[in-house]
Copies of this chain bind each other. A is one copy, B any other.
């Protein structure tokens, strides 16, 4: 298996499905369809849906059964970025080298496009669950994972604490809370939802959850590290913005050396939690390497 080819193949499948599910007809409200599509197709790497489909395949599920949910999680992730970029939040004009949603469509439409994506994600999952009646219970359980990870006890909770911590000195526990909720929660939910829909038993689900938690946190700490030592061209964004914004990060609290050590430790833990599955775990291990130990 060539990891990069496999990754691209999955991303292409997700892209096609997103294009299929996102509305594009001409109607009075079509400006919001444009705005939603603009941000969904603004260069995202589709990490969360890739993790979800990979988890589903890992436990024996079929990729077609998971696509509506995989698209839904990408819509939820995209909505969170649109709202996060707003002037009242991070006030970013660019993301991945493109103008942010509110810079193109105005703040009002950007708020509604975010709302629309979150709501539409649930519409998509509900419709799919009802159509796939024999898996209804499983899909509602997966929806529960996603909803609680994206809500006030997950991603939104992390964003709130991130927002109120701006320009403040925060302690290590608060930073852990932000990292675990703002970023890792949705990554964990992607993997758990995929495994649940794919039909994982308790033991498999436990291993994949352990894997997901380590990858989720490792991914965010690496993000913090790259903002100090990363290559702007490869990252597609300016480095040093956390320092400019006086943002507390893992390196700013624990130092760069400890952060790098922590990332390696998290990578090793992620491998350990699934290596017993042998060849089947290979894609996931390379994915962890790619996400947690990325160098750009």
| Distance between Cα atoms of A127 and B120 in the complex (Å) | 19
Is A207 an interface residue, CB under 8 A from the partner? no
Point out the residue from B32, B88, B120, B181 that lies within 8 Å of A160, measured CB to CB.
B32
- Which of A146-154, A210-218, A288-296 contacts the other chain? A146-154
**A66 interfacial contact with B, CB 8 Å:** no
Assess whether A156 is in contact with B112, with CB atoms less than 8 Å apart: yes
Q: Are B160 and A109 in contact (CB under 8 A)?
A: yes
Q: Which residues of B contact A160 (CB under 8 A)?
A: 28-29, 31-32, 109, 112
Specify which chain B residues have a CB less than 8 angstroms from the CB of A114 in the assembled complex.
115
Contact of A253 with B by CB under 8 A: no
- Residues facing B in A108-124 (CB within 8 A) are 108-112, 114-116, 118-120, 122-123
Kindly name the residue among A29, A88, A174 whose own CB sees the greatest number of chain B CB atoms within 10 A. Answer: A29
- A136 touches B (CB below 8 Å): yes
Question: Smallest CB-CB separation from A87: which chain B residue?
Answer: B107
B32 with A156: CB separation less than 8 A: yes
> How far, in angstroms, from A65 to B268 measured CA to CA in the complex?
48
Q: Are B89 and A108 in contact (CB under 8 A)?
A: yes
Q: Which residues of B contact A140 (CB under 8 A)?
A: 126, 129-130, 136, 140
User: Which of B112, B122, B129 has a CB less than 8 Å from the CB of A122?
Assistant: B122
Could you tell me if A152 and B122 are in contact, using CB atoms closer than 8 angstroms? no
Q: Is the CB of A161 within 8 A of B29?
A: yes
Q: Are A148 and B161 in contact (CB under 8 A)?
A: no
Interface check A222, CB cutoff 8 A:
no
Indicate which residue in B111, B120, B144, B152 contacts A119 across the interface (CB closer than 8 Å): B152
Are A126 and B147 neighbours in the complex by a CB distance under 8 Å?
yes
| Interface residue A164 (Cβ < 8 Å from any Cβ of B) | yes
Known contacts being A83-B115, A111-B111, is A127 close to B106, with CB within 8 Å?
no
Contact in complex: A144, B116 (CB < 8 Å): no
Give, as a whole number of angstroms, the nearest-CB distance from A161 to chain B: 5
Asked if A143 is at the interface of the complex by the 8 Å CB criterion, the answer is yes
Task: Check A285 for interface membership: any CB of B closer than 8 A.
Answer: no
Give the docked Cα–Cα distance between A41 and B106 (Å).
30
How many whole Å from A85's CB to the nearest CB in chain B? 11
Give the chain B neighbours of A111 by CB distance below 8 A: 83, 86, 88-89, 111
Hey, which chain B residues are within 8 Å of A161, CB to CB?
Answer: 28-29
Q: For A152, give its contact among B120, B143, B153 (CB under 8 Å).
A: B120
A163 at the interface (CB under 8 A from B): yes
Is A286 among interface residues, defined by CB-CB distance under 8 A?
A: no
A148's partner among B123, B144, B153 (CB-CB below 8 A) is B123
Known pairs A88-B108, A130-B140, A136-B137; A28 contacts B177 (CB<8 A):
yes
User: What's the Cα separation between A100 and B261 when bound, in Å?
Assistant: 47
A32: B residues at CB distance < 8 A: 152, 156-157, 160
